[in-house]
Amino acid sequence: MNATPQAHPTRRPLILNVEGREGPRYVKSRILNRAEFSVLEASNGQSALALVRQHAPDLVLLSGQLPDIDGLDVCRLIKGDPATARTMVLLTAPGVTDSHRRVQALNGGADSLLVEPLEPEELVSNINALLRMRGAEDAYQRTSQALHENEDLFRQLAEAMADVVWILDPTTQRLLFVSPSFESLWGRPADAVKQDATQWLQWVAPDDQPRMQAEWRSMLRDGRLDTEFQLERPNGEIREVHMRAFPVRGADGRCLRVAGICQDVTRHKRAERALHNEERRKDEFLAMLAHELRNPLAPMRSAVDLLQQFSPSREDMFRARDIIGRQLHHLTRLVDELLDISRFNQGKITLRRDLVELRGALNTAVETVRPLLEARRHMLRLSLPEQPLPIRGDMVRLTQIFANLLHNAAKYTAEGGQLSVEATLGAQGTVFVRVRDNGNGLSPAMQRHLFDPLAAAVGGEQDVPATQAGEHDDRPDLSAAGDGDPDNFAAREGAGIGLTLVQKLVTLHGGRITAESPGAGKGSTFTVELPVEPWQNWHPTTSKARPAAGSAHTIMLVDDNVDALEAMTMTLETLGHTVVTAPDGQSAIDRAASVRPDVVLLDLGMPTMDGFETARRLREIPELRHARLVALTGFGQPDDRRRTRDAGFDMHLVKPADLNALTRLLDELDA
């Protein structure tokens, strides 16, 4: 007898041998033991049922003739109990068994029926066949359960994802699964595409439809897709979608399914475009800024070359001096405006809240721009009400607002143009100041970006607050270094920085600014609306007479810049003061006790020993206990002023130092 190996590699199958006759029971058990099965024995039906419940055998070899219960009834009881229903039953019957008995056995739940007497090989082969069948059933059940669990897991994951997951049968071109997020992205029910997998193509933006139809057909051939398109929702909203797909292949390599995912990338794409536009606008802003910074540098360079390389006449020397002075003032103003924009964005601009007269600010602004008006031969009409216009604010900043607007109007109006400044009182305690010109005008695109310092160049009139247009006209010997044609410049450059600062200053004063223009070449009007105090409350302040200049003083200059030392020394000595210079902090400390200066002008950014350390050590010298320490630096932010104050400086001057501020400081020593 050749026994087939057991079904399980680590456990021998357990067989329950149920036979009422002792001899046949012994023979059957012997055959089963030789086939390497584990064997239990039962001599009647009751014992068999108890052992089945207790030991859960893999198979019951059940005789049809038992002393207490018919074998067929035992089979029915085993199969009818849910706890034992999956137990395999091999029923044996005597050789006289008819076909009716066989049918009864199989219908009663027996898995197979053998006719006695049994051949050992036949018995073992039938048992092994039944055990293999049960093993296959168990494996199928386990596989089905795992597949069901995986499907549930996939469905839960897909339904929890914000992205749309879908599975397509490429043969029938039918969508087998579409996750619920389809509706939130497409704005349409998923059932619409389950009926027709190509329906979604009708909702793609018209410009993308031909391309997506071609890519969808390609995907049906190879199962692969990686593309982006715009989707139009029912409410007209446009969403940007990234769609990917890949084939799911069988063991033979054939594409059975196509799995895909649709991701809403609208926010990502918008952020990407915004970042790109921001970078582009910054580049354009820096290019514009570089142009504006070079404008005043060019005539200054030409004026210096004239003084250095030629033998200029006295008139040319004065003219070159005036050019350098005006352009230096303009360059300083341009840098200050940049700093003001930065301070405003950081919340660091503060205004004086004095009660000031707006008419005075307007008159001062006109005087500031008058050289440019005369150079361009413009006619300006100034219309102000007779009663005062008290404004709660900062006179310097108010002057800056209107001077900037007038600069723009004068610069971007052809020579001989018409300009006007008109102030009128409104009905709700406000004043409207309108600055008009008949110049280049504003395109609609320029009007949208007018107050943005990073706006792209869009043509038309714009604000470039600095360069003194036409300045080259009063110095023919320096014409090659002039500012160029401001009208042409206005047509090709983007918005400058001055209007951004104007808008911010107007806002800080509680007002607003608007710009209007009929179009390019038709002039423009800037209107500033500001709140005013009742004019009856206006009481002009009496100005305090400035003290007369006092005696000469001893001044120590400390700076590692040799040119700065020489220029400031000449200026101060011209004013009658005694000047002692030091190229670094240590030299200043070594000489301070013997010099005993009244004032020390100290640069902060020196190598080896900076101005803060130098000031601290100067304060330790007894002979300098009454000296005034003045920080002279290019840093002028509020934090910089706080640092110098904390370091013991009496005053903070920003380079280039204002001579009037320095003179006031020296005058205070005699007060």
Distance (Å, rounded) from C-alpha 172 to C-alpha 165?
19
Whether 106 has a pLDDT exceeding 60, the answer reads yes
Whether 612 has a pLDDT exceeding 50, the answer reads yes
Q: What is the pLDDT of residue 380?
A: 92
Angle at 568 between CA 564 and CA 573, to 5 degrees: 150
CATH superfamily of 14-140: Response regulator (3.40.50.2300)
Across 219-297, where does the E strand assignment appear? 225-232, 238-249, 255-264
Average pLDDT (609-618) is: 90
**DSSP state, residue 478:** G
Average pLDDT (293-298) is: 67
Q: What percent of the chain has pLDDT over 70?
A: 81
- For 405-463, the pLDDT digits (tens) are 998 899 889 999 999 999 998 877 899 999 999 998 888 877 777 776 655 433 333 33
Q: What is the pLDDT of residue 432?
A: 94
Whether 70 has a pLDDT exceeding 70, the answer reads yes
Q: Which fold has domain 280-537?
A: Heat Shock Protein 90 (3.30.565)
For residue 6, the tally of other CB atoms under 10 A from its CB is 17
The rounded Cα 159 to chain-centroid distance in angstroms is 29
- For 363-415, the pLDDT digits (tens) are 878 877 888 888 899 999 999 888 888 888 888 788 888 988 998 899 889 99
The domain 554-668 is placed in CATH, from the list 3.20.20.70, 3.40.50.300, 3.40.50.2300, 1.20.58.410, at: 3.40.50.2300
* Statement: the pTM of the whole predicted model exceeds 0.85: no
Give the closest residue to 191 by CA, choosing from 239, 216, 199. Answer: 199
Q: Which residue has the higher pLDDT, 228 or 97?
A: 228
Whether 478 has a pLDDT exceeding 90, the answer reads no
Where does the pLDDT of residue 295 fall: very low under 50, low under 70, confident under 90, or very high at 90 and above?
Answer: low
Whether 474 has a pLDDT exceeding 60, the answer reads no
Distance (Å, rounded) from C-alpha 449 to C-alpha 369?
25
Distance (Å, rounded) from C-alpha 616 to C-alpha 604?
12
Q: What is the pLDDT of residue 540?
A: 57
Where does the pLDDT of residue 640 fall: very low under 50, low under 70, confident under 90, or very high at 90 and above?
Answer: confident
Q: Which residue has the higher pLDDT, 637 or 250?
A: 250
- For 122-155, the pLDDT digits (tens) are 899 999 999 988 888 888 888 777 777 666 666 7
Whether 275 has a pLDDT exceeding 90, the answer reads no
Whether 286 has a pLDDT exceeding 80, the answer reads no
The chain-wide mean pLDDT, for the chain, equals 80
SS3 167: strand
Same fold for the domain at 14-140 and the one at 554-668? Answer: yes
State both tokens at 310.
């030629």
- For 75-90, the pLDDT digits (tens) are 999 988 988 888 989 9
State both tokens at 475.
């110095």
- For the chain, the residue count is 671
Residue spans per domain, the chain: 14-140, 161-264, 280-537, 554-668
For residue 515, the tally of other CB atoms under 10 A from its CB is 19
- For 501-540, the pLDDT digits (tens) are 788 889 989 999 999 998 888 899 999 999 988 765 655 5
- For 153-197, the pLDDT digits (tens) are 667 666 667 788 888 888 888 888 888 888 888 888 888 788 788
Contact of 419 with 411, CB cutoff 8 Å: no
Whether 634 has a pLDDT exceeding 50, the answer reads yes
Q: What is the pLDDT of residue 488?
A: 35
Whether 480 has a pLDDT exceeding 70, the answer reads no
Average pLDDT (335-343) is: 65
Distance (Å, rounded) from C-alpha 285 to C-alpha 502?
17
Give the closest residue to 635 by CA, choosing from 653, 622, 617. Answer: 653
State both tokens at 555.
């001044």
Whether 465 has a pLDDT exceeding 70, the answer reads no
- For 232-270, the pLDDT digits (tens) are 888 888 899 999 998 988 878 888 888 888 888 989 888
Say which CATH class 161-264 falls into: alpha beta
Average pLDDT (277-304) is: 71
